[in-house]
Structure 1
């Protein structure tokens, strides 16, 4: 069969530029590929029973770390985390231009410690050794007691032994207060604020989140109090109050 030039359909040029090319009426996407590292962060956030404020802080701090480093997780070493801690201390500024407080630096490092502990446990084939091991938190001195003398505190501890139903809760409460927390901060604490070692305070009078390391005895007392509540068939969701009232409503 013979064809002449007039019978051939017109030639249509299809641009190969991704910004202008279209296929079946659909414009090619220019969205950057998803950072596979962030996928693991989202999995971590979903797998942990974090309180909303804690989740927000963890997400913010992990996002900041991934923006600072382009290394994949298996490439990270303790020296990289030490450099990142220096970056938080020396280069990051608050909204009013001030350096981060030690408590804010600790919040960032604690988020990384929690995430990489989870990563090394969940994906040992990716991270054989937790790179945050050996990275220490900044030392934040406890605020001095402003109202009770050591002798008065001894009287408080002695009085706790005379309590009945509320003894365990009140003992845990006094342990928390002995670390310099204000009453208004304590009532905002929920179960997700305690990770077994630290108390996370999202809202403080300085408008900065704060991490409060608990003494060993205080950690054990608080953990035992929560365990007792669990044995009483209370479901301890992360957003439930850390301290519950024993007064009848």
Structure 2
């Protein structure tokens, strides 16, 4: 049979993208739902964040910085090389701007680089088949002076103890909380403490920021305050077990539950307001504890063990003050004076 061009049916052209997104049924076109592919790189970031014992603020910082890096580079992890990370650091330093239009500070640049160093170290250890060599090798942090120690003066500590007397329902808990904070514990470490963490003399911290267990000896007054706090809870018919939270919330929505990281911050902020101390935060007590240890003459290596500082450089700012005090005392001793007139 011979066919002519006129006898052939008309050719209907269907654009490829339309064919992928629609399915024809007569004259009706029904959209076909499509799910964008998951960025496998971000899946690894989430796994990394879940594996780390990070305080809420640290987790937010890591998440923000890793998101920023993934938005900057489309390379897969196995394709990254040190030169790419060096370029990214240049981007943070020379191109990125704050909301106010200013360049990032050296501390902010270091926060971004440190987050990448931590993540890729974890990737290299957890997935050596994906990353066999660290792409952050050779990428150095910006040199910044150590921030000053924000320890409280004896007079400020007296105001803190006086402020605790003005509290109502939370007075006993917050007094115990300040006693624990005054032994150098981080807020995130206190959140994880259970009743079984306290043996009547020491606090045992199995999970810390440095992933190393730590024993914290409590002075007599603090031991008694903490023991009384736990007895008062039992007197209110609370059944305490070794896994019961050491510190509990008094918030209406979470009453009796484990005191959260933010709960600790709110409690300390309230104490600061009553004590008329601007910007009092949980870490203020940690700074004070580390400084006092050295002023008492505790060996710096022992002091670091007690505070759980992994970095000798980070701990150096506490030793500076004790060395200054010792130098002043040596001067007055040398010239035969007990103290400055």
| TM-score (normalizing by structure 1) | 0.54
Alpha-carbon distance change, 59 to 147 in structure 1, aligned in 2, over 3 angstroms = closer
Alpha-carbon distance change, 145 to 37 in structure 1, aligned in 2, over 3 angstroms = closer
Structure 1 stretches of 5 or more lacking a match? 1-10, 149-165, 174-185, 198-202, 206-213, 225-249
Alpha-carbon distance change, 114 to 26 in structure 1, aligned in 2, over 3 angstroms = farther
The 5 A counterparts of 1:73-112 are 73-112=77-116
CA RMSD of aligned residues (A): 4.0
Report the equivalent of 1:116.
120
Larger-Rg structure: 2
Structure having the larger proportion of residues in helix:
2
User: CA offset at residue 222 of structure 1?
Assistant: 2.1
Report the equivalent of 1:223.
308
User: CA offset at residue 102 of structure 1?
Assistant: 1.1
User: CA offset at residue 84 of structure 1?
Assistant: 1.1
Question: Are the equivalent residues in 2 in contact too, given 1:105–1:138 (CA < 8 A)?
Answer: yes
> Hey, what's the Cα distance between the residues in 2 that align with 1:195 and 1:171?
16
> Hey, what's the Cα distance between the residues in 2 that align with 1:146 and 1:50?
22
The 5 A counterparts of 1:73-222 are 73-144=77-148, 170=182, 172=184, 189-191=187-189, 195-196=209-210, 217=301, 219-222=304-307
Alpha-carbon distance change, 14 to 31 in structure 1, aligned in 2, over 3 angstroms = farther
> Hey, what's the Cα distance between the residues in 2 that align with 1:47 and 1:146?
31
Kindly provide the CA deviation profile for residues 59-104 of structure 1, in whole angstroms up to 9, marking residues without a partner as x: 1111111111122111212222122111101111111001111111
- Matching of residue 71 in structure 1 with residue 46 in structure 2: no
Higher relative contact order (CA closer than 8 Å, sequence separation 6+): 1
Length, aligned pairs only: 170
Question: Are the equivalent residues in 2 in contact too, given 1:116–1:130 (CA < 8 A)?
Answer: yes
User: CA offset at residue 17 of structure 1?
Assistant: 4.2
User: Per the alignment, in what secondary structure is the counterpart of residue 128 of structure 1?
Assistant: coil
